[in-house]
Amino acid sequence: MLTAFFRWMRLVLPRGDAILLAIALIASFELIGALVLLLNSKVSPVDLQLARTFFLALTAFVYGIYRVNEFHPLAKPDYRRWLETTPWTWRNPLPGGPVLLVPQDVVVLALLMGLNRDFSFQTLYIPVAFLSFYLANLMAINWLLGEWQLAYSTGFGLGLGGLVFRRPDYLLLIDLACYLLTRIAVQRSFRNFPWDDSHQPCAPIEASKLKGDSANHRLGWPYDSLTPAKLRIGFRLHDAICFAVLLGWWHLTLLWGADERVRFLIIALPLIAYVGIPLLRVFPYFYMHRSPIDVWGRIANSWWVIPKFDCVWIAPLSALMLNFLLLGWASWYEWTVRFRYFEVTLPTDWRYAVSISLAPVGTTAVSLALFLIGPKLEHWRLTGQHRIVFQRSQEFTEL
Amino acid sequence: MIQLQQVTQHYGVRPVLRRIDLTIETGELVAIIGPNGMGKSTLLAVMAGILSPQHGKVIIDGMERKSTVEHELAIRRRTVFLPDKPWLPKNRTGREFLMGVGRLYDIPDDGLIDHVERLLNVFELEKEGDWPIRSYSAGQQKKIALSSALVTRAPIMLLDEPFSGGLDPSGILALKHILKHQVQQERATIVMSTPVPELLEELANRIVVMRQGEVIAYDTPTGLRSLSQCTGPLDEVIARLVHPRTMENLEHYFQERPKC
């Protein structure tokens, strides 16, 4: 009976050593928890229960990531290549195990919830953690496979969770609704198997150009840099808009559901984060491409600006300006309007209203600036005024 | 055809190339020659699109380099550049590397497999072709790098010092014959740099002589002889053009030598 049960469960369970590691970690947690409870009188059983729920939710999160990355052929290139050589169609079960949820997943989650030993609503955070990350992971994969409408719908659905994140029962309902969308997207994507990489919004050049044994290998200097193949890196217009709006939506729902004490932080923290993020945008541009002339050369020859090289800074600088304008405005706590003879300080509620409206708009605007303002990476690499260099690594040997 | 119009290239304060005007016709083998540090490799890198000159333009088969995405991709498809020190993927075998480069240039697999085999054969790498590149000697690495440029079948080849880097006599002989064949039979355009002129007499249609970032002569070997008023071997002709005072100084040196 037990053997039959384990055989049934093996459909989704990870390798034996991973299961042993999980059991060891959970046992260690319980042991340490019991010792802390025994030795430290300041720690109450309620605290320990909170920590236990968090720890088991973390385990569920890892299981969610595993369920997608271990079972979806897109996440495992070798599995996908092998599957392409077989007569498999979407009507058959996947030989490597199911991507969609099966009763065995319910057993795993029920086991984790049982280990929590708390039969209140709080325990529902465990399946919520599993489902949220499982769905987010599948959302990205479905987007890559061309199911972008359903992928973004899932994203917007998951964002609703921000409004009710103190209510795990509502969160679970939202996740289950999102699962239905994801299920349709997964089934639709598998109907198009074998997948054509050229539909992917962004694919590394090696994967699309080189087949078989040559795939995913680099060819060194100068072939990687002077490749005659078209690069497909960058956002399509609808992706840029949808993704920017999605980020704004997540920001809004987080703000909406947040406690007043942390709401200000949720408005102001992006102000700091968005200083770094725009600057990160230039990294792919500067990968193997440098300024055609050094700083001293620019100064000595009075070439302060090289338009076909320096244009990469336009998007990050625009994003930074928008960031300071909109998010700075939104997070300006002492919001006072001064007239000639008197000044008006807006009521607190108004300030929050303005902040809550402006902050997500700021997030969307900054993202749009980063995604949409040119130059496109491919255009710049092929027509920009730069110097191509080779980034040496352990993979290559110099002649 | 490759045209360079008023090309000036700086890395820093001082220009490395100064107002270079050059036209290389289709089906020509042109050698760039000159002392070290005079801009030979920089000139090739400008033609190859590695560098973007601060002034001037490079036009290849009527398309300006880096003017539009379509033009640049079209130029890249018909051009192959081999630097003097390429970096090779050390964990791939020579054969895998050549197949990868061929596929990058959209060479159909059936012809490619045969071409790779013939290249490995001509450079005496049949056995080593299935070994990882990290196990190759410097000369063998040079051979596989040269083969990678040849396997592309690009009609324009830009080769930086192809005869240096530990190539053995049989490799030099094979490369000489292949380059000659490419130019005479396939009408390929080959531009190569070299610091030593011995090989050029029988190979080069025209020679670019560079000094201090400028083209001081661009002619056939016969034309260079009449320009330098020297009928001696090509290295002496080049020496007279690049260092006009060297021979005079040498004569002075031997005349003024104290007799023992």
- CATH number, domain of B30, equals 3.40.50.300
pLDDT average, residue stretch B88-113: 91
Q: Which residues of A touch B97 (CB under 8 A)?
A: 219-220
Of A228, A398, A399, the CB nearest to B105: A228
Work out the percent of chain A whose per-residue pLDDT is above 70: 86
At residue A12, does pLDDT exceed 70?
yes
Q: Look at residue B52 and tell me if it is in a domain.
A: yes
- The predicted-structure confidence for A120-177, as pLDDT tens digits, reads as follows 888 999 999 999 999 999 999 999 898 999 999 999 999 998 888 889 999 999 999 9
Q: Which stretches of chain B are DSSP H helices?
A: 40-48, 69-78, 94-104, 109-122, 138-151, 169-184, 200-203, 221-228, 234-242, 246-255
d(CA A18, CA A24): 10
Name the domain count of chain B: 1
Q: Which residues of A touch B88 (CB under 8 A)?
A: 220, 396-397, 399
Q: Which residue of B has its CA nearest to A376?
A: B69
- Structure-block tokens of residue A83: 């599957």
Residue (of B42, B66, B64) closest to A384 by Cα position: B66
pLDDT at A215: 40
- The predicted-structure confidence for B60-88, as pLDDT tens digits, reads as follows 999 999 999 999 999 999 999 999 888 89
pLDDT at A272: 74
- The predicted-structure confidence for A333-373, as pLDDT tens digits, reads as follows 555 556 666 666 666 666 677 777 777 888 898 899 988 88
Indicate whether this complex's ipTM tops 0.90.
no
Interface test with A, best of B8, B52, B142 (most A CBs within 10 A): B52
d(CA B49, CA B68): 13
d(CA B190, CA B158): 6
- The predicted-structure confidence for B123-171, as pLDDT tens digits, reads as follows 999 899 999 999 999 999 999 999 999 999 999 999 999 998 888 999 9
Kindly provide the b/e burial profile for residues B166-194, where b requires at least 16 CB atoms within 10 angstroms of the residue's own CB. ebeeebeebbeebbeebbeeeebbbbbbb
Residue (of B122, B126, B133) closest to B168 by Cα position: B122
Work out the percent of chain B whose per-residue pLDDT is above 70: 98
Q: What is the dihedral of CA A231, A234, A237, A243, to 10 degrees?
A: 150
Higher pLDDT, B218 or A38: B218
Rg (CA), chain B: 20
In angstroms, the Cα distances linking A301 to A140, B11, B12, B13, B15 are: 48, 11, 9, 7, 10
Q: Is B137 on the interface with A (CB under 8 A)?
A: no
pLDDT at A207: 38
In angstroms, the separation between the Cα of residue B12 and the nearest Cα of chain A is 4
Query: Which of residues 99 through 128 in chain B touch A, CB cutoff 8 A?
Result: 99-101, 103-106
pLDDT at A321: 87
pLDDT average, residue stretch B222-235: 86
Q: Is B185 on the interface with A (CB under 8 A)?
A: no
**Domain that residue B166 falls in:** 2-255
In angstroms, the Cα distances linking B137 to B128, B141, B143, B194 are: 10, 6, 10, 22
d(CA B111, CA B223): 41
Q: Look at residue B260 and tell me if it is in a domain.
A: no
- Structure-block tokens of residue A120: 């209140």
d(CA B80, CA B95): 19
Of A210, A220, A228, the CB nearest to B86: A220
Q: Which residue of A has its CA nearest to B55?
A: A385
Decide if B104 and A297 are in contact by the 8 Å CB cutoff. Answer: no
pLDDT at A203: 44
Decide if A209 and B104 are in contact by the 8 Å CB cutoff. Answer: yes
At residue B240, does pLDDT exceed 80?
yes
d(CA A366, CA A369): 5
pLDDT average, residue stretch A325-334: 67
- The predicted-structure confidence for A176-207, as pLDDT tens digits, reads as follows 999 999 999 999 999 988 887 665 555 433 33
pLDDT average, residue stretch B215-235: 88
- The predicted-structure confidence for B28-62, as pLDDT tens digits, reads as follows 999 999 888 888 999 999 999 999 998 999 999 99
d(CA B28, CA B1): 9
Q: Which residues of B touch A383 (CB under 8 A)?
A: 66-69, 72
- Structure-block tokens of residue B119: 């290249």
